[in-house]
Amino acid sequence: MGSRILALVGDCYGARGGIARYNQDLFDSLADGSVEILILARHGDARGMVLPTGVRQNPPIFGRFSFSLASIVAAWRFRPIDTVFCGHVFMAPLGFLLARLFGAHYWLQAHGTDIWKDRRGLVRRLIEYADLVTTVSRETRRILLAWVDLPPERVRVLPDTVQDVFAPGPAPAALRDRLKLGAGPILLTVGRLASNERYKGHEPVFSVLAGLREKFPDLIHVVAGDGDDRARLEAVADELAPGAVRFLGFVPDADLPDLYRLADLYVMPSTEEGFGIVYLEAAACGLRVVGGKGGGTADAIPDERVGVIVDPTDRPALAAAIEEQLQRGRADPAAVEPYRQAHFVAAARALYARLSTQPRRMTSGL
């Protein structure tokens, strides 16, 4: 009999966003035919979707209490369980409880901001029980190790992967006309415009546009994404760089590759990305990137073949980086190769194989 994983996640199949994507990539990878995975999610409905062989996802349950209760019941029915995968630090208590009850390996996934602020007390102790903690970036791992007592070998990095749809291609001229972007260079930012995600760095870019337009008179900054901060950002853009910013609203994933191929530079001097997969997706389409210092960005902008990292509070440096990168042409998609799915699949399977051979730290309480 193959091994059995019970996965507790916020969102996965049928849900949107970076974490959902990551979880899907992970379970797609682990599903090698010999593994059975039962996913219990709080968001996203996978009914009607074709999932990989051996993977099932129960209908979502949002309420914390009912989710916990339903998880215990589902786990009981799913037993024996080899591994409890816990996709969010907030679920660590439930993950720990189930792993303890069923004597399973306890695998905890940390994405970034969820563990950047240290949580003393119970959550910390429950993290320390994990047999394996995976983080998406080296920086998240470093921050986690600063406040939890885990041996470093137990905390592994499994970076995000870039989907194959992100690849170089001809710049779609029709899209440029349709969006009425003119003939000048295009700066692009893709991301939620949320008031609690102002670290993404839209405003610093707006503030250097006027200066940049002295050298590139037709330069335009295209902002894709929507959120509760949009109206405010539009006002700021109007004030700092009238006419230079075009807000597109939400852009579906399927349309992103064309947008990357159309643009001349991806600019997002974000300081708190858990990883920043969007930089790699842009680079995979041949777009050079300017990222922000802080968080996991250094893992997503591996070297100068892709772009540079700047401190967004240093406005002259930001402006200089944008100007310099614009003149350097396209990114080298070869730099993105190690982030492609084949590598992710191999890394994920190797990690799971390693976990499976480790002695379990918790024996069944049943």
Partner 1 sequence: MCGIAGIHAYLDVAPRVDRGELVRMNDRMVARGPDGSGLWLSEDDRTGFGHLRLAIIDLSEGGAQPMHSDDGRLTITFNGEIYNYRELRAELQARGRTFRSGSDTEVLLQLYAEYGAAMVSRLRGMFAFGLWDADKRTLLLARDPLGIKPLYWADDGWTVRFASQAKALLAGGAVSRDPDPAGIVGFHLFGSVPEPFTVWRSIQSLPAGTTLTVDATGPGIPQRYYDHTAALVERAASSLGSAGSHARVAEAVRDSVRNHLVADVPVAVFLSAGIDSGALLGTMAGLGVRDITAVTLGFQEFEGLSLDEAPLAAEVAARYGARHIVRTVDRAEFERDLPALLDAMDLPTVDGINTWFVAKAAHEAGIKVALSGLGADECFGGYPSFTDVPRSVHWLRPVSWLPGLGALARRALTGAIAAGLRVHPKTAGVLQYGGNWAGAYLLRRSVYMPWELDDVLDPALVEEGLRRLKPLSRIAAAIHGGHMLGDFDRVSALETSLYMRNQLLRDADWAGMSHSIEIRVPFVDPVFLAALPPGPVLAGMNAKDAIAGVPNPPLPDSVRHRRKTGFSTPHGRWLRDAAGAPRQHGIDLSAASRAWALNVWRAGWTGPAAV
- The residue ranges that bind partner 1 (CB under 8 A) are 135, 137-138, 141-142, 145-147, 149, 151-157, 159, 299, 302-303, 338-339, 343, 346-347, 350-351, 354, 358
CB of 304 to partner 1, least distance (A): 11
Q: How far apart (Å, rounded) are the C-alpha atoms in residues 215 and 34?
A: 59
Alpha carbon 186 to its chain centroid, in Å, reads 24
Q: Letter for the amino acid at 16? A: R
Residue closest to 326 by CA, chosen among 200, 224, 234, 208:
208
Of 308 and 318, CB closest to partner 1 = 308
Q: Are 366 and 47 within 8 A, CB to CB?
A: no
Tracing tokens 């209760």 back to the chain, one arrives at 69
CB of 157 to partner 1, least distance (A): 3
Of 121 and 217, CB closest to partner 1 = 121
CB of 321 to partner 1, least distance (A): 21
Q: How far apart (Å, rounded) are the C-alpha atoms in residues 206 and 221?
A: 8
CB of 25 to partner 1, least distance (A): 14
CB of 299 to partner 1, least distance (A): 7
Of 149 and 214, CB closest to partner 1 = 149
Of 53 and 358, CB closest to partner 1 = 358
CB of 344 to partner 1, least distance (A): 9
Of 233 and 351, CB closest to partner 1 = 351
Task: Render 182-210 in DSSP notation, one character per residue.
Answer: -SS-EEEEES---GGGGGG-HHHHHHHHH
Of 112 and 185, CB closest to partner 1 = 112
The CA dihedral of 293, 295, 298, 301, to the nearest 10 degrees, is -90
- Main-chain dihedrals φ then ψ at residue 61, nearest 5 degrees: -130, 115
Q: How far apart (Å, rounded) are the C-alpha atoms in residues 158 and 275?
A: 11
